[in-house]
A and B are shown apart, each in its own frame.
Chain A
Amino acid sequence: MKILKTILIIVLITFSFKAFASMMILESSKSEIGLHEQFYVDLLLDPETVSINGIEGNITFPEEYLSFIRSEEGKSMVSLWVQPPQLFNNTVRFTGIIPNGFDGVIDPFNQEHKRPGLIVRFVFEAIRSGQISITTPPFTISLNDGKGTIKNIPAVNISIFVNNRENHVIYENNNSDISPELEAYIIKTPNLFDNKYALIFKAIDRSSGIREVMIKEGNKDWKKITSPYLLEDQTRHSIIALQAVNHSGSSVIITIDPIEYKFTLVDYALLIVFIVILFLIIKKRYVNKNKK
């Protein structure tokens, strides 16, 4: 009886893990690297046919051995970042969504097996030799079921060996000639910045990913911003220029025209008053001159 119970418990536990089989994968460009050599670690999501539409997680690296260079999201399955990958001490955190869900990449040349999809590429530089490990806590993902069901995916880690031979190699993305794409709108809605004019944008770069987005409102200086952004000029009479720059230095600039000034009745009334006053002044001076 005891054996049966134990078997039952083990079966239940095994089934409960098997029921949700999606997993994260960490893949490094190299398993052994030299000192001052740059390399990348890809974080991939293998949904195992489950449709997933959101992910929240972080990765931690040993800062005494590795220097974080940047994260690249250009080829990510995540198309909208609630919180783009951001460095906090030795941890990079991120939250993003995949509209309409992701259940594996279809490879037209091998349709039997869906591929895992890239979430973020992390670029590091080795600064000290030794055996190192890049780790993650469990990830939080959301199912594409219309209910926002939250599930956890087990933690992953990867080991890399840094040897003591100096190898000054800088990692560069191969597709550095691709320019970023930028889409922007100005909106005014009660649920955003108390119904003030705000700029929203989406910048995509299919090569290395977006490094920064900057704005220039009228004659003001360029300023780094994130979306949504509360416009400084709430009159909307300034030309707005928006620039997206990728990690390779390529950029795209778009401009948004100001709104045309529309004369109101008050404006017309003031104009008439001004013309009348001007007329009276001129008349008075002209009359005085003639009198003299």
Chain B
Amino acid sequence: MPIIFKKLFIKSPIVKWLILLVLVLFLIPQVIIAGTTIISTTTLEISATVVTTVTTPPSGGGGGGVVIIPTTVNFSGMAYPSSKVTILKDGNVAVTTIADPLAKFSVSLSGLTTGTYTFSVFGNDINGTKSLTFSFPIYITEGTTVNVSGIFLSPTINIDKSEVKRGDTLAVFGQTVPSTDVKIIFNSDQEIIKETQTDGAGLYKYDMDTSPLEYGDHGVKSKTIMGDTISSTSIELPFIVGLVSKLKEDDNYDCNIIRGDLNCDGRVNLVDFSIMAYWYKKSAPPTRIDLSGDGRVTLTDFSIMAFYWTG
């Protein structure tokens, strides 16, 4: 039997292709499915869990009258101590709130009709630095209360130098939840992860010795670990390891800090979208509008703007 199998396997091209076909149709997809499952459980950063409570009219007894149940969405989670938290509904500011000194926030929206709404949440830390925006579309049914809990905003992040002399220290700092661990990730040829802790105000700072980093471009980002819960990862800040150190200039508001803020008002909203839409597919747009720098305004530029949207 083994000889026949060997002959069939090696000499018959039909069998060879049949085996290949079986591999492609059955085995490989199974491996891919298995791989996908692993990827989704290990890399997916769950920053909000949606728990629903359906409120129904009381039944029996009495009679008469109509019970109107308000449609409400309750948002709760962790931001930064005493910081402003903004909730956008379909890209427009719907409500803002202030987190408590422990960074907890909760806010409600009501008066919604049945439909799909895209809600986005972001916070501004003690220095006004914006977090990454966490966005989630939810189908809302009239007369129900939806609780969106467990929102965990990414830590804010800043660095003291745009270019650092190799061997000098680079200060990485920001704000998140008080008394938690912060992982600082340096994206170099080899990823370097450092850990620090936040103080009672949620502030953290890590002085990175740049000796182990190669000359050239690098990036740094951070995330918060609070027990078993991990926040989403912050924005990645670029820096250069070179021959001299240059301080990062951000004392005054510079429109370039928020990409997409075309009219320089500190926000990325309908006004900026309208300005960009005016230049869509037109020749020689101003460099300020052409965010991708490819000489024209295309979907790529709108996409960059949509990422930094503040409403």
Whether the Cβ atoms of A79 and B91 lie closer than 8 Å is yes
Whether the Cβ atoms of A99 and B137 lie closer than 8 Å is no
Whether the Cβ atoms of A147 and B306 lie closer than 8 Å is no
B interface residues (Cβ-Cβ under 8 A, vs A): 16, 20, 23-24, 28-29, 32, 36, 40, 44, 49-50, 52, 54, 88, 90-92, 113, 115-116, 118, 120, 133, 135-141, 144, 146, 235, 259, 262-263, 270-271, 273-275, 277-280, 286, 288-289, 291-292, 299-309, 311
What residues of chain B lie closer than 8 Å to A198, measured between beta carbons?
274
A191 to B264, CA, bound (A): 11
Closest chain B residue, CB of each to CB of A144: B307
Pick the contact of B299: A54, A102, A105, A206 (CB < 8 A): A54
Pick the contact of A100: B91, B289, B302 (CB < 8 A): B91
Whether the Cβ atoms of B301 and A192 lie closer than 8 Å is no
Whether the Cβ atoms of A77 and B40 lie closer than 8 Å is no
A-B contact pairs, 11 of them (CB 8 A): A10-B24, A14-B29, A14-B32, A77-B116, A80-B91, A98-B306, A111-B52, A140-B299, A144-B303, A148-B303, A191-B262
Whether the Cβ atoms of B91 and A99 lie closer than 8 Å is yes
Majority secondary structure, B binding face: mixed
A140 to B300, CA, bound (A): 10
| With A98-B118, A191-B262, A191-B288: A228-B302 Cβ-Cβ less than 8 Å | no
What residues of chain B lie closer than 8 Å to A109, measured between beta carbons?
52, 54, 141
Whether the Cβ atoms of B275 and A148 lie closer than 8 Å is no
Q: A246-263 CB contact bits vs B (8 Å, 1 = yes)?
A: 000000000000000000
A164 to B292, CA, bound (A): 53
What residues of chain A lie closer than 8 Å to B139, measured between beta carbons?
105-108, 115
A167 to B67, CA, bound (A): 41
Whether the Cβ atoms of A99 and B309 lie closer than 8 Å is yes
What residues of chain B lie closer than 8 Å to A148, measured between beta carbons?
291-292, 299-304, 307
What residues of chain B lie closer than 8 Å to A54, measured between beta carbons?
299, 302-303, 306
CB distance from A246 to the nearest CB of B (A): 14
A51 to B44, CA, bound (A): 12
Contact stretch, chosen from A31-39, A62-70, A182-190, A236-244: A182-190
Whether the Cβ atoms of B263 and A189 lie closer than 8 Å is yes
Q: A270-288 CB contact bits vs B (8 Å, 1 = yes)?
A: 0000000000000000000
A97 to B90, CA, bound (A): 11
A97 to B301, CA, bound (A): 11
A14 to B289, CA, bound (A): 38
Cβ of A15 under 8 Å from chain B: yes
Q: Total A-B pairs in contact (CB under 8 Å)?
A: 175
CB distance from B237 to the nearest CB of A (A): 12
CB distance from B21 to the nearest CB of A (A): 10
Pick the contact of A7: B20, B91, B120, B235 (CB < 8 A): B20
Cβ of A82 under 8 Å from chain B: yes
What residues of chain B lie closer than 8 Å to A106, measured between beta carbons?
50, 136-139
Cβ of A180 under 8 Å from chain B: no
Residues 100-129 of A contacting B (Cβ, < 8 Å):
100-109, 111, 115, 117-118
Pick the contact of A191: B24, B275, B308 (CB < 8 A): B275
CB distance from A153 to the nearest CB of B (A): 13
Whether the Cβ atoms of B88 and A100 lie closer than 8 Å is yes
Whether the Cβ atoms of B135 and A101 lie closer than 8 Å is yes
Cβ of A145 under 8 Å from chain B: yes
CB distance from A35 to the nearest CB of B (A): 33
Cβ of A142 under 8 Å from chain B: yes
Whether the Cβ atoms of B306 and A97 lie closer than 8 Å is yes
CB distance from B7 to the nearest CB of A (A): 15
What residues of chain B lie closer than 8 Å to A170, measured between beta carbons?
none
CB distance from A50 to the nearest CB of B (A): 11
| With A14-B28, A101-B306, A206-B115: A192-B275 Cβ-Cβ less than 8 Å | yes
Whether the Cβ atoms of B299 and A95 lie closer than 8 Å is yes
Closest chain A residue, CB of each to CB of B19: A3
CB distance from B72 to the nearest CB of A (A): 12
Whether the Cβ atoms of B277 and A228 lie closer than 8 Å is yes
Q: A6-B20, A97-B306, A99-B309 are in contact. List 8 more A-B contacts (CB 8 A).
A: A14-B24, A101-B307, A106-B138, A146-B308, A148-B307, A185-B271, A189-B271, A227-B274
A7 to B36, CA, bound (A): 20
What residues of chain B lie closer than 8 Å to A3, measured between beta carbons?
16, 20
Whether the Cβ atoms of A100 and B263 lie closer than 8 Å is no
Cβ of A171 under 8 Å from chain B: no
A11 to B305, CA, bound (A): 36
Indicate the member of A56, A191, A228 with the most B CB atoms within 10 Å.
A191
What residues of chain A lie closer than 8 Å to B146, measured between beta carbons?
108
Cβ of A41 under 8 Å from chain B: no
Residues 3-61 of A contacting B (Cβ, < 8 Å):
3, 6-7, 10-11, 14-15, 18, 49, 51, 53-54, 56
Q: A175-204 CB contact bits vs B (8 Å, 1 = yes)?
A: 000100001010101011100001010101
Whether the Cβ atoms of A192 and B118 lie closer than 8 Å is no
| With A10-B24, A106-B50, A228-B275: A75-B135 Cβ-Cβ less than 8 Å | no
CB distance from A6 to the nearest CB of B (A): 6
A7 to B90, CA, bound (A): 46
Closest chain A residue, CB of each to CB of B144: A108
| With A3-B16, A108-B146: A200-B274 Cβ-Cβ less than 8 Å | yes
Closest chain A residue, CB of each to CB of B271: A187
Closest chain A residue, CB of each to CB of B43: A49
